[in-house]
Structure 1
């Protein structure tokens, strides 16, 4: 069974920005089948109708690594809750489980089944920044870590990629994924 990585971009982003293509190339060089799907409806369409499309678009198994950035990390919570299998690893970069600021967040569910999420992933990482301009900060990461365990990594690196923060490589992620 081949190792697979699926990298989910953030709100309003696309597969060609920040560190997504770089990480995809790094993982492909190590033998991963890499998917970096484009989901313009991410955090625009309500999660109740958006999530079934994402679940239908991908296959998940015990060799799958999931990486999500910002809105894509929030998506991973819903995705993990509704999987019928256990994936190898999930890395939530600038993730959040509650509204991080005053913007509408259709990607969030009203509540989460934390036990179901935890049962769907062997290794989970939360990478957040104390200086996140959108509120996807270390407190958000801590709230998820306290419910799910895993590993929390706190940096001072803004949003780990944004319109005004190119962040073209992300060595930490390359090291976290075996």
Structure 2
């Protein structure tokens, strides 16, 4: 069976920013079928109505790797809670599980079934920075890690790419993905 990766961009972004195109190319070279959807309403539409649309667009199985950046990483928590199968890996980059700043975060659920999330992924990584301009920092990574286990990696890389932070490649992700 072909390995598959689904890469979710962050809030207000698209699949062609920062390291996302580089990772797509690397995974294709490694034999993955890669999906990189553009979800314009990510973190705009409330998760209760947004999530069913996302789930209907994708299939998930034991050969699936999920990667999310920022709001896309927060989305992965809901995806993992609500799918009915176990995926191979999930890598949450600059992810968060509670409001990281004073703004409204429609991508977040009011609460999570942490046991269901953990049950639906074999290998789980949280990659956060000590300092993040949006609050998606190491505290958020620790909060998810404490609830879900997996591996927490803390760096000093800001938001891992943004309008004013070029981040054209991400070798660590390439190494972590089986």
Shorter-chain TM-score bucket reads: over 0.9
Q: Distance in 2 between matches of 1:19 and 1:157?
A: 13
2:102 alignment counterpart:
102
For residue 166 of structure 1, report the CA deviation from its aligned partner.
Answer: 1.4
Q: Distance in 2 between matches of 1:108 and 1:79?
A: 11
The alignment partner of 1:81 has SS state of helix
The alignment partner of 2:92 has SS state of strand
1:85 alignment counterpart:
85
Q: Distance in 2 between matches of 1:33 and 1:15?
A: 15
The alignment partner of 2:117 has SS state of helix
1:22 alignment counterpart:
22
Residue by residue over 1:44-76, the C-alpha shift from the partner in whole angstroms, topping out at 9 and shown as x without a partner, is: 000000000000000100000000000000000
TM-score by length of 2: 0.99
Q: Distance in 1 between matches of 2:35 and 2:7?
A: 6
For residue 126 of structure 1, report the CA deviation from its aligned partner.
Answer: 0.2
Unpaired stretches in structure 2, ≥5 consecutive residues: none
TM-score by length of 1: 0.99
Q: Distance in 1 between matches of 2:46 and 2:162?
A: 23
Q: Distance in 2 between matches of 1:170 and 1:102?
A: 29
1:35 alignment counterpart:
35
1:149 alignment counterpart:
149
- Matched residue count: 178
Q: Any residues of structure 2 matched to 1:105-144 within 5 Å, and which? A: 105-144=105-144
2:45 alignment counterpart:
45
State whether structure 2 residue 161 is matched by structure 1 residue 161.
yes
Unpaired stretches in structure 1, ≥5 consecutive residues: none
Q: Distance in 1 between matches of 2:134 and 2:30?
A: 33
2:171 alignment counterpart:
171
Residue by residue over 1:89-148, the C-alpha shift from the partner in whole angstroms, topping out at 9 and shown as x without a partner, is: 000000000000011100000000000000000000000001111110000000000000
Q: Distance in 2 between matches of 1:151 and 1:158?
A: 19
